[in-house]
Structure 1
Amino acid sequence: MPLKKIMIIDGHPDPHEERFCHALVNSYALAAAGAGHTVRRVSLAGVDIPFLRSEVDWDQKPVPADLTEAQEGIGWADHLVLVYPLWLGSMPALLQAFLEQVLRPGFAIAPDDRNFEKGMLRSKSARIVVTMAMPAMLFRIFMLARNLTMPRQNVMYVAGIDPIFATLIGDIGGIDDARRRQWLARIERLGRRGA
């Protein structure tokens, strides 16, 4: 198994350590580093991320100084790991704002590419890990996993990232400690493989 450079994005806006997303990120990061992969990470809970309000902002304003290191880490990585909770059927607004800020023309897509056909982050793979209150199967069936199509097709895929894998962890509020340990062990296995 080749060793990878891995960038982990903890997209949970709440900084409290009891959030399961934070435990998943820690498990993945420790397992990956223990297996010899090089790991960088960013937690969005402690970052002030301004919203883009126009196409001019997206095209011409510089990436905020607080996010340049995270953007550099995305460019550096072979594999991206994005962990976040499902909120109102989608990713938290803070994570959306982060992705809009860092995946800009000239970094993620070619500046002249208005058809979004020239992703500049090719040769990278990604794993999206989503926690949710509803059972994951219901999310897949009734919501058609719409939440995953945003980062897969509209953001990461357009940037050239492929393949993109998804791990859905449902019924998060109702799982017991044994089930949490099972999920953490599963995430550790993914971390060791850099998958």
Structure 2
Amino acid sequence: MSKRILVILGHPSKESFCGALANSYVEGAKAAGHEVKLISIGNQSFDPILHNGYASIQELEPDLVSGQAAITWAQHIVFVYPIWWGAMPALLKGYIDRIFLPGFAFKYREGSLFWDRLLSGRSAHLLVTMDTPPWYFRWVYRMPGHNQMKRTILEFSGIKPVTVSSFGPIKDSSLQKREKWLAQANAYGRNT
């Protein structure tokens, strides 16, 4: 069954290994007959700083308006990004801060501790690179970046299930290993 898939490249450079993973996923998904859109946030023009928090909503730049429209359109969202200092790059965090807003991603209920998850009905897959061995990131660091993205952003907004695939260590990885990871990303796209 064909799906509408949005791939968000969260690495500032399309020339990165994350860029290659995103392209490989897109190729696989298109080969399987899915409709795919790709957003490379490094090419987007927006202020990544939420200057007043939620006290007042900043006007969204055109690229952020398009980003929200693409998320609304998508049935499945794939985020491709590296782990830097235990979490996503600042540019991706700024993108999320600016578009996952109250009234779009969630809505607090008046007088309640609970909230409405406004992006329900979508699933997500995180393709995450790191220089730390994935087992070390999981068992020693306890996956802070994965938990942030999966639990406190996507699931908070109603996006689930969220699958996480870690690729690493990237540093000093062989060409053969990288080709294997690219084939894996392609297979994920084909099997979405």
Give your verdict on TM over 0.5.
yes
1:133-152 aligned within 5 A: 133-152=131-150
Equivalent in the alignment of 1:67: 64
Q: Contact 1:109–1:116 (CA<8 Å) still a contact in 2?
A: no
Equivalent in the alignment of 2:125: 127
Q: Contact 2:50–2:58 (CA<8 Å) still a contact in 1?
A: no
Letter in 2 for 1:138: Y
Output the CA distance in 1 between the equivalents of 2:106 and 2:73: 16
Q: Structure 1 length as normaliser, TM-score? A: 0.92
| CA gap 1:115/1:42 in 2 versus in 1, 3 angstroms | farther
Output the CA distance in 2 between the equivalents of 1:121 and 1:56: 19
Equivalent in the alignment of 1:85: 82
Aligned with 1:99 (options 74, 96, 99): 96
Matched residue of 1:183: which SS? helix
Letter in 1 for 2:44: V
Output the CA distance in 2 between the equivalents of 1:3 and 1:116: 34
1:175: how far off?
Answer: 1.1
Q: Contact 1:116–1:158 (CA<8 Å) still a contact in 2?
A: no
Output the CA distance in 1 between the equivalents of 2:57 and 2:77: 26
Q: Contact 2:13–2:19 (CA<8 Å) still a contact in 1?
A: no
Q: Per residue, is there more helix in 1 or in 2?
A: 1
Aligned with 2:107 (options 87, 110, 133): 110
Runs of 4+ in 1 over 6 A off after TM superposition: none
Q: Contact 2:28–2:190 (CA<8 Å) still a contact in 1?
A: yes
Matched residue of 1:122: which SS? coil
Gaps of at least 5 residues in structure 2 are none
1:55: how far off?
Answer: 2.5
Gaps of at least 5 residues in structure 1 are none
Q: Structure 2 length as normaliser, TM-score? A: 0.93
Equivalent in the alignment of 1:4: 3
1:145-160 aligned within 5 A: 145-160=143-158
Aligned with 1:30 (options 27, 50, 66): 27
Output the CA distance in 2 between the equivalents of 1:49 and 1:62: 10
Letter in 1 for 2:89: P
1:112: how far off?
Answer: 4.6
1:140: how far off?
Answer: 0.6
Aligned residues: 190
Matched residue of 1:110: which SS? strand
Q: Does 1:43 align with 2:15?
A: no
Output the CA distance in 2 between the equivalents of 1:74 and 1:116: 23
1:125: how far off?
Answer: 0.3
Q: Contact 1:49–1:94 (CA<8 Å) still a contact in 2?
A: no
